[in-house]
Structure formats: structure tokens, C-alpha cells
Structure 1
Amino acid sequence: MDFVNALSWVNFRFLLQGLWVTIYVSLISIALSFLIGLLLGTIRYTKTPIISKLVGFIVDVVRNLPLLLIIFFTYFGLPGIGVRVNSLVASIIALVIFESAMISEIVRSGINAVDEGQMEGARSNGMNFVQAMFYVVMPQALLKMIPTLLSQFVSLVKDTSLATIIILPELLYHAQIVYSQNTNYMIPMYLIIAAMYFVVCFCLSMFASYLQRKFDSR
């Protein structure tokens, strides 16, 4: 009976509002972290003196920090240097910083997995480095990266739940509000949000499998 009462339309609609925030933050973070990670990974691949090493050092530092610590820093630390952000913006900034570092390693590994002869062949045909990277190397690298990238994006969706610590009104935070009014709803709420997370992440996983099959068939 508690499960039925917990899943009333009012509560379910409230959870859907939280789910929308989770998806919204995830989509923005995925888009930005992919673009930044693509740039950072390419810079590391080029092995440009000083710049590549500096980027590599920053990436290694960020990758070895807990995401929760980065979330705390963006929300509580940035105001200390005069940058005031709300929980939504702080969450996106933290996720983008962390995920960009993770994706940059995926990108660098993907580019390294492409045969060096591809770059050499493109350059010998008159392309400059940027053209060869954009038209020849990167398309092949992206195909190799698809499964790992989408797995990382699935992890990003789940990581949004950490932002509940800074009162981001996402799915987990909304569930906490519901069961704080009736502690008997705690288990039903956790089961419901687990199902919601599963549906979103499972759809992403199926999309990854679809893309993999599509490109493997070519």
C-alpha cells in the first residue's frame, strides 16, 4: 500500500520534474564535455612542447580528484573568487570539468589507435595537419571511441545524483523531499528512481549498441 500511495500522480509528476533536470544537466554537460574533451585530447596527441605537457598535467590532476570535491569547489569555492553561481550552473561546470578530462583520454587513445600511415598519407596528398586530422584521422578515431564514449556518458547521467549535495533539484533530491514527508515512502521512492535511472541509462546503452552495429556493418 505504501508503494501505491508513494506513486500517486502528484508524487510521480514531482519525480518527473526532477528527472527532467537530470536529463537537462546531463545533455548540456555531455555536449560541452565532448567538445572540450575532443580539443584537449587532440592537443595531447599533437605532443606540442609545453602546451601538451601542461594539458596532460591538468587532465591527470582532474581525473584523480573525486567528482564530489569538484562539485563542492564550484559551488562553494567560486563565490570566494567573486564568481557566484547557482546549483544548476555549478553542477554543469563541475560535470564538464570532470568529464572533459575523462573524455580527453578516450579521444587521445582513439586517435592513437588509428594507423599512423593515415596521417602520413593525408599529409603526402597535400593536406595540412588540421585538414588531415579533421577529414581523415578523426572520423576513424570517433568510430573506435563510440562504445567507450557512450559508456562515459551513461556514467555522467548517474553522476548527476551527486549534485543533490548542493541542493540541485534533480531526481534524487526530489525523491528525498517526497519521503521526508513520509518515511514509509523511502524504499518505494528509491525503487522508482532506480527504475527511472535504469530506463535512461538503458536507452543510452541500446543507442551505443545500435551505433556500434551500424558502423561495424560498413
Structure 2
Amino acid sequence: MDVIVQAFSASNLIFLGKGLLITIWLAIVSIAVSFVFGSLLAIFRYSKTLVLAQLAFVYTEIVRNLPLILILYFAFFGLPEFGLQLSIFWKMAIGLILFEISQLAEIVRGGLNSIEKGQIEAARSTGMTYRQTLFHIIIPQAFKRMIPALVSQFITIVKDTSYTAMFGLMDVLNAAQIIWNQQFSFIFPIIILVAVLYFVINFTLSSVSLRIEKKLG
């Protein structure tokens, strides 16, 4: 019991809290940016513009078949080679974004392809342009169908932020490692606490997803 009390001291909890804020901020940035660009890639692949569709296909297929850790190594060591002197946070954010764009692009493309062709033909027969059909008929319906897969990927992104501890980013996992490296007996209670923190974040995402599904349904 004394070990638990010492492990959960105010200074340790504050230190973990700072790491947690970095984890949350990294996840928010990665989710928001990768969702926007992933959606654009999916729309490019869905469109009839051959050049854009082919470019989107090449990027998606190359990146999604590479391990995330390799992309993070590229961001950490490769970006400076291109003259981009960034903080460790933004290196890791770019690495996550580059990888997650390809994952989300496939989810969004699957949602777009799930819309029956008959609805598209019906919309076009009423005089709607391809763009109007896409934004008023296809995307709204596809979004409803994509919600479970999107939220699942968002949860994966939150968990993937833990890889950044390997590169020195002071996220919640790295903060936890520093604490138990100072006192090894703290390792078990600190691991349990970090697990609870990840669970709360991801369970909250799942709960919000269910509410959105019910509301849209």
C-alpha cells in the first residue's frame, strides 16, 4: 500500500498529467489533419479524374503497406534532411499523419463505394451535377456508414501515439517510464494507471460514436 501511495504522489500525478495532455493533443492533431487529407484522397480515388485518382492510389497503397514505426523513423531522421528543423512533437505528428491518411482514406473510400449506384443515377437524372450528387447524396449517407470504422481508427491513432515514446516525446507513456525508472517498485501501479487513462480516452470515443450513430439513425 505504501508503494501505491508513493507512486501516486502529487508530483508523479502532475508529471503524468503533463504527458497525458501531450498525448491527447498529439492524437487530436493527428486525427483532425489525417481525416481531412484522408477524405480528400478517398474522394480523388472515387472521382473520375484519372490523374488525381492514380496519385491517390499510389500514395495510399505505398504508405498503408509500410509499418508505422518506419514512417516515424522517416519523420524523425528524414525530415531534417529536407531542411525541416521541427520539434519532436511535430516530427511525430507528421509521421502519424502521413501514415493515418492512408488508413482513413481506405475507410472513407469504402464508405463512398457502399452507396448504391441507383441513388447516384437517380440524382443525376434529376439534373444534379456530379459535384452536387457527391456532396449532397453520396457523402452524407456514406458518413453514417463510416462512423464505426472511423471511430475504431481514431482509437487506433490514440494508441499509436505510444510509439512516440521511443523517440523521446514526453507523452504519457514516456512520463510513466521516467517515473518507474526512478523507482522500479512503482512500475506496476503506474502501468495500471496509464492503462486506465488510455481506456478512459478510448471508451469516451466509443461512447460518443454510439451517441452519434443513434442520433443519425
- Normalised by the size of structure 2, how large is the TM-score? 0.96
**Structure 1 position 122 matched with structure 2 position 123:** yes
Where structure 2 has 5 or more consecutive residues not aligned to the other structure, the ranges are none
SS of structure 2 residue aligned to 1:32:
helix
Query: C-alpha separation between the residues in 2 aligned to 1:58 and 1:211?
Result: 31
The letter of the residue matching 1:141 is: A
Matched residues, percent identical?
40
8 A contact 1:47–1:53 mirrored in 2: no
SS of structure 2 residue aligned to 1:80:
helix
Query: C-alpha separation between the residues in 1 aligned to 2:131 and 2:93?
Result: 30
Query: C-alpha separation between the residues in 2 aligned to 1:85 and 1:144?
Result: 37
**Structure 1 position 142 matched with structure 2 position 143:** yes
**Structure 1 position 163 matched with structure 2 position 164:** yes
Aligned to 1:202: 203
Alpha-carbon displacement from aligned partner over 1:19-52 (angstroms, at most 9, x marks no partner) = 1111111111111111101100111112432431
Aligned to 2:60: 59
Where structure 1 has 5 or more consecutive residues not aligned to the other structure, the ranges are none
Aligned to 2:44: 43
The correspondence of residues 171-190 of structure 1 with structure 2, limited to 5 A, is 171-190=172-191
Q: What is the number of equivalent residue pairs in this alignment?
A: 216
Query: C-alpha separation between the residues in 1 aligned to 2:168 and 2:34?
Result: 22
Query: C-alpha separation between the residues in 1 aligned to 2:68 and 2:198?
Result: 19
Aligned to 2:212: 211
**Structure 1 position 32 matched with structure 2 position 33:** yes
8 A contact 1:75–1:85 mirrored in 2: no
Aligned to 2:108: 107
The letter of the residue matching 1:46 is: S
Query: C-alpha separation between the residues in 2 aligned to 1:90 and 1:130?
Result: 36
